[in-house]
Amino acid sequence: MIARQLLAAEGGNEFQAPGTEIFDWGPLWDGAPSWLTKPTLIVALSVIIVCGFFWAAFSKPKLVPRGVQNIGEVGYLFVRDQVARPMIGKDGDKWMPFLLSTFFFILVMNLMGVIPVLQLPAPSHIAFAIVPAAVVYVLMVFLSIKHQGLGGWFKNMMFPPGLPAWLYIILAPIELLSTVILRPFTHAVRLFANMFAGHLLIAFFASVGYWFLIEKLTPLGSGLGVLGFVMSVVMTGFEIFVQALQAFIFTLLAASYIGGALHPDH
């Protein structure tokens, strides 16, 4: 990818930092359907990996877990005890199928950013962050109306008890905008921006290393090239951490929105 990018810029003798074009992927091969691109392939692959993993882990469960089942159970317990129960409460277990699949789907999509050859976190295309966030948003609206009623939902959202009446007129628009409009937006953008920036950073350091050590090796530039290679390894490690963290935060917020819809009084 980076090599191709640099070849494209070969005309010039100056180093060119990778830009947003590293996210543009056309159809996989000439004549392929226009939707069949690298990002969609990565999403499809993530679905298969997540389904396959849980099939392997839980299709024939044993009382004493071994191998894949062990990893699956650790993952399940993590999501249940760190996300579902603290955020939703006693009825959190009911939401485990949704939260567990959300967490692992996003985690695998993110980790695709550090898998050699694939090397593209799918949510670095904002569409793949918008769709899960939209699913959570629709679910939140549906549950809020179901459990609080349409009027009750807006009342709980816009009129927190204990304020003088004239303040409500001033504060209610802020509440409305932040909950109904900004919430799905920040939910999606947080995931997208982290993946986008991380991918760009790794690509930048890797191309610095490639350019100054391989493409245009000079005594002066070699130090910079070594720094670029070292930093791309460091950033890859850091990205693995960010990718896991963002999958966790996305799921945590989804659970928090569901919990808020079910128990508005908290």
**Which residues of the chain form contacts with other proteins (CB under 8 A)?**
85-87, 89-90, 160, 162-163, 170-171, 173-175, 177-179, 181-183, 186, 252-253, 256, 259-260, 266
CB of 155 to other proteins, least distance (A): 15
**Closest CB to other proteins among residues 86, 221:** 86
CA distance 227 to 232: 8
CB 225 within 8 Å of CB 209:
yes
**Closest CB to other proteins among residues 113, 260:** 260
CB of 133 to other proteins, least distance (A): 13
**Closest CB to other proteins among residues 95, 211:** 95
Phi, psi angles (nearest 5°) of residue 27: -55, 150
**Closest CB to other proteins among residues 87, 201:** 87
Where helices occur in the chain by DSSP H, the ranges are 2-8, 38-58, 68-79, 85-88, 96-111, 127-148, 150-158, 165-176, 183-210, 219-262
CB 126 within 8 Å of CB 23:
no
CB of 184 to other proteins, least distance (A): 10
**Closest CB to other proteins among residues 171, 224:** 171
CB of 128 to other proteins, least distance (A): 21
CB 93 within 8 Å of CB 85:
yes
CB of 218 to other proteins, least distance (A): 45
**Closest CB to other proteins among residues 225, 260:** 260
CB of 149 to other proteins, least distance (A): 21
Backbone region of residue 89 per phi and psi (left: phi > 0; alpha: psi in -120 to 50; beta: other values): left
CA distance 129 to 190: 9
**In Å, what is the CA distance from 216 to each residue of 15, 208, 212?**
9, 10, 5
